[in-house]
Amino acid sequence: MSDPVFFEPPQSVLLKNIVCWADADLERGDENIEILGVAPVEDAGEGTLVFFDNVVYLDQLSQTTAAACLVAKKHVSKVPDNVAVLVCKDPYRSWAQVLAKLYPLAMSPVDIACPTDVSPRASVDTSAKLEDGVIVEAGAVIGANVSVGAGTVIRANTVIGAGVQIGRGCVIGPNTTVQHSLLGDRVFLHPGVCVGQDGFGYAMGLAGHFKVPQVGRVIIQDDVEVGANTTIDRGANRDTVIGEGTKIDNQVQIGHNVVIGRHCVLVSQVGLSGSCTLEDFVAIGGQSGVRGHVRIGAGAQVAAISSVNEDLPAGGRYGGTPAKPVKQWFREVAALRKLAERGSGA
């Protein structure tokens, strides 16, 4: 792989340790060989570990010169004989578990200035309460009556508004703004995130559009990660809530009063209109939009570039504009294609 300039190269580790970290079974190979690093399957060399779970790269797998490969049982026969085989139920998840051990610093937004406490070039109000081990980088501004838990890092040029409470072990990325918000433990906000600003609310009329005061909060529960330049509006007359374990990609817009359940996944450029509700374990593909006051049931999945205009039941897979069950969507697309082909041949 390319030289990982921004991360310390991992120390060599015996394959038997990799087996343990990956929750894998060693199907073939010597558990005492040394693994020196990781690489994509097509760029692997001596001493490297790779993973395979996408048949698009089957040709590269058959030619890999890696030392070892994480792979599902059904693809073991495709791994060259001289490569150690670690069989896993979910190779990608196992790969992630191994990388977390080899590159622990890559598990959260990286240091900017690497201070060990509060930078003298940060502005911290005297009424703010910072527990032990809090790091505040240069240029950060922390307002009155803010509370920050132990081990949390506030990166450079970040603004924390008055009264905000941030839990323990959080990382608030550079150039981030947090106001009118309560954050739980181990919350990661990547660079440029804006949390707690006004929701978009106006009483519209012929005399002009009268601004509706937004007096709610944003509640972000434990273990939430929010990607760069995502915006989360505070509630209008109740709270905007992000449930524990939810993962949000870059450039996502979350409107006022939105309630997102536990362990949801929102991919880049998703837009959630005000007062919509996502139950637990909902996943929404990139560039999809959800209309206000709509509810999406637990475990539902919405394909990329879809428009959700009405409630969706739990557990289903949906796509299209407007979103509908994927089988129906595929039939409609196929029928439209046939009509177009007939028209072009007329």
What is the CB-side half-sphere exposure of residue 220 using CA atoms within 13 A?
33
Chain-centroid distance of CA 298 in Å reads 18
Separation CA 147–CA 127 (nearest Å): 9
Cα–Cα dist 311/302, whole Å: 12
Which residue shows structure tokens 């527990």?
131
Q: What are phi and psi of 206, to 5 degrees?
A: -65, -25
Cα 340 from Cα 346, distance rounded (Å): 10
Strands 34-35 and 13-14 turn out to be antiparallel
Calculate the alpha carbon distances from 77 to 47, 74, 81, 180, 264 in Å.
Answer: 21, 8, 9, 56, 35
Query: Quick check: 177 and 158 in contact, CB under 8 A?
Result: yes
Q: Is residue 256 annotated as part of the catalytic site, yes or no?
A: yes
Give the separation between CA 37 and CA 44, rounded to whole angstroms: 9
Check: CB of residue 107 under 8 Å from CB of residue 100: yes
Q: Considering 180, 209, 256, 293, which one is annotated as catalytic?
A: 256
* Of 222, 240, 220, 117, the residue nearest 176 (C-alpha): 220
36 vs 9: CA distance, rounded Å? 9
Active-site annotation, residues: 256
